[in-house]
Amino acid sequence: MAFKKIEISELSFNPFDKIGKQWMLLTGGNKESFNTMTASWGQIGVLWNKNVLTCYIRPTRYTFGFVEENECYTASFLGEEFRNALSFCGSHSGRDCDKAKEAGLTPAEIDGCMTFEEAELVLVCRKLYSYDLQESGFITDDGIPEKFFNGDAYHRAYISEIVGVYVKE
């Protein structure tokens, strides 16, 4: 499957649906060694006069090391027909299996970063800034730490410039 590079201004979607309901695959590494994970938390917008994606990865996730060690990663969006693949990639560790193979996904390289041929939209992201979420940062008492962390590691946030936008040809 071939991808076509487009201008970010050509995108038209609801980010709440795209990220929160359709989900995305965050993939770090290169063709020799990479891993992917499903994510449904993130933001797309403008910061520091750059088009950015912010994503969140727990340091306990296998994908964390691949994103941490590389300058770029991808956020890939697949159609609803790949819901089972997205579910698989979100519930299994790449430490224990070949996620792409078991999920039926075909690895592909774009701009030196890994994605999947089945993607409808790929955002190539270059990391600009990262920070760790902390319980002390919550300023409301909405029960978020108990509901979403409950003893689990807090996420690292990556604010990344979207340096390439690709769609399926």
Cα dihedral sign for 114, 26, 71, 12? Answer: positive
> For residue range 6-32, what is the model confidence (pLDDT) as tens digits?
999 999 999 999 999 999 999 999 999
State residue 164 phi and psi, 5-degree precision.
-155, 140
User: What is the domain range of residue 65?
Assistant: 3-168
What share of the chain has pLDDT > 90, as a percent?
Answer: 92
Residue 113, pLDDT score? 97
Residue 150, pLDDT score? 84
Among 2, 71, 1, 73, CA closest to 35: 73
- Taking the C-alpha atoms of residue 121 and residue 154, their distance in angstroms, rounded to an integer, is 28
Which CATH number does the domain housing residue 20 bear? 2.30.110.10
- For the record, the structure tokens of 153 come out as 């590691």
Among 64, 15, 63, 3, CA closest to 40: 15
Residue 1 pLDDT level (bands cut at 50, 70, 90) = low
> For residue range 44-56, what is the model confidence (pLDDT) as tens digits?
999 999 999 999 9
Q: How many domains does the chain fold into?
A: 1
Residue 14, pLDDT score? 95
- Taking the C-alpha atoms of residue 2 and residue 47, their distance in angstroms, rounded to an integer, is 31
Residue 152, pLDDT score? 87
3-state DSSP of 134-145: CHHHCCCCCCHH
- The DSSP-derived string for 31-47 is TTEEEEEEE--EEEEEE
Backbone conformation region of residue 52, classed left if phi is above 0, alpha if psi is from -120 to 50, else beta:
beta
In this prediction the pTM is: 0.96
> For residue range 133-159, what is the model confidence (pLDDT) as tens digits?
999 999 988 999 998 998 889 999 999
Q: Which helix (H) or strand (E) holds 109?
A: strand 107-110
